[in-house]
Amino acid sequence: MTTEMQEIAITEEKPLLTGQAEAKEHSIETPHGVLHVTLHGTRTTRRPAILTFHDVGLDSKSCFSPLFKFEEMQEIVKNFTLIHVDAPGQEEGAAAYPVGYENPLRSVFTCWCSLPRPFRTVIGVGVGAGAYILSRFAIANPDSVEGLVLVNIDTNARGWIDWAAQKLSSVTSSLTEQILSHLFSQEELSSNTDLVQSHRERISKASNLINIELLWKTYNSRRDLNVDRNSTFKCPVMLVVGDQAPYEEAAVECNSKMDPTTTSFLKMADAGGLPQLTQPAKLTEAFKYFIQGMGYMASSCMTRLSRSRTTSLSSSYSMDGSRSRSRTLSQGSQGGQMPPSPSQMMEVSC
């Protein structure tokens, strides 16, 4: 998988997110289309940048704004450069793709080597399709990725049964409803929550719906990542999924194949398909622990959230003290609650 670039043109657009340092939007011309990128935060060479990639049916704003504007997240925002990437044609108001347009998932591989930057590495944060895209990026560019936070990851290619079900769904359901069933749990769809209603209206009325459809079809024809605990990722990984999310089983399966010494698994209680929107407090604290585990922000305190919730970080060991399959960060709706087990427990508060 190549990251070679030719004739890259970068156009600076309007500032974004008033009050946050040097927040700017850029349009980057690549061989695979115009890439819309938002950079803000500190410009430091001492830390990696945080690179985000959204899910199908969302853009960087609708996918990540509630998380990165959350009060407790501001400590991270002030210490890192944030790079929010929109897949070509997915930002609000984007022009329609030309006929015969190439695979939009390839754009992330061109993004890294085309951005003006003082940083050499990133911590990737991806949701759904974005998690898959950043996983491929990390596999192809292991020296460029220091860590991955993968929300609702599904590393498996679609099998024949999945393919047939998708074809049937495309006949019986609108594109909007297909994407909603990807983003939200059945419980959320049945309850028709305010979040579901707002995204249904936004997607159905999107002027770039044809672009969203192309990205959706591309994601459904993805290749298997062949996750292997010995060779897939060369960096720490935190897998995140809601306990009611549509991809909960896929995330659990992915976790079972990962290297237990470098992988953390966060299953969020009472969370549906988009935990970064519905439970930003829990995800923010887990993200801080993850960053601290990489050696950054060592002096950071888990302030308000730690006082209001009990957070348990469990490194599981077998009875003879040897390491078991994975680490689990458990955060229930009323605090971290772990079942009885031969585990070492650490209560964390500041």
Domain ranges of the chain: 24-300
Reported as a single tens digit per residue, the pLDDT across 165-220 is: 555 665 557 999 999 999 999 899 999 989 999 999 999 999 889 889 988 988 88
Specify the residue for token string 């993805």: 222
**Based on the number of CB atoms within 10 Å of its own CB, is 121 exposed (0-12), middle (13-18) or buried (19 or more)?**
middle
| Residue-wise DSSP of 221-256 | TPPP----TTTS-SS-EEEEEETT-TTHHHHHHHHH
Residue 125 pLDDT: 97
Instruction: Please tell me the distance from the alpha carbon of residue 322 to that of residue 315, in angstroms, as a whole number.
Output: 11
Q: What is the pLDDT of residue 349?
A: 29
DSSP assignment of 34-56: EEEEEEEE---SSS-EEEEE--T
What would the two tokens of residue 272 be?
């549906």
Average pLDDT over residues 286-313: 68
Classify residue 156 as exposed, middle or buried by CB count within 10 Å of its CB (0-12, 13-18, 19+): middle
More confident residue, 155 or 168: 155
Fold of 24-300: Rossmann fold (3.40.50)
Average pLDDT score over residue span 306-328: 39
User: 216 in helix, strand or coil?
Assistant: helix
CB 182 within 8 A of CB 246: yes
Q: Within 10 Å of residue 48's Cβ, how many Cβ atoms? A: 21
Query: What's residue 56's pLDDT?
Result: 94
Instruction: Return phi, psi of residue 270, to 5°.
Output: 60, 30
Q: Give Cα 73 distance to the centre of its chain.
A: 15
Asked whether the beta carbons of 243 and 269 are under 8 A apart, the reply is yes
- Whole-Å CA distances, 82 to 48, 73, 92, 124: 9, 12, 20, 10
Q: Look up residue 30 and give its amino acid.
A: T
Q: Which residue has the higher pLDDT, 228 or 338?
A: 228
Q: Give the 3-state secondary structure of residue 122.
A: strand
DSSP calls for 301-327: ---HHHHHS-EEEEEEE-TTS-EEEEE
pLDDT tens digits for range 74-117:
989 888 989 998 888 888 888 777 655 555 556 555 555 555 55
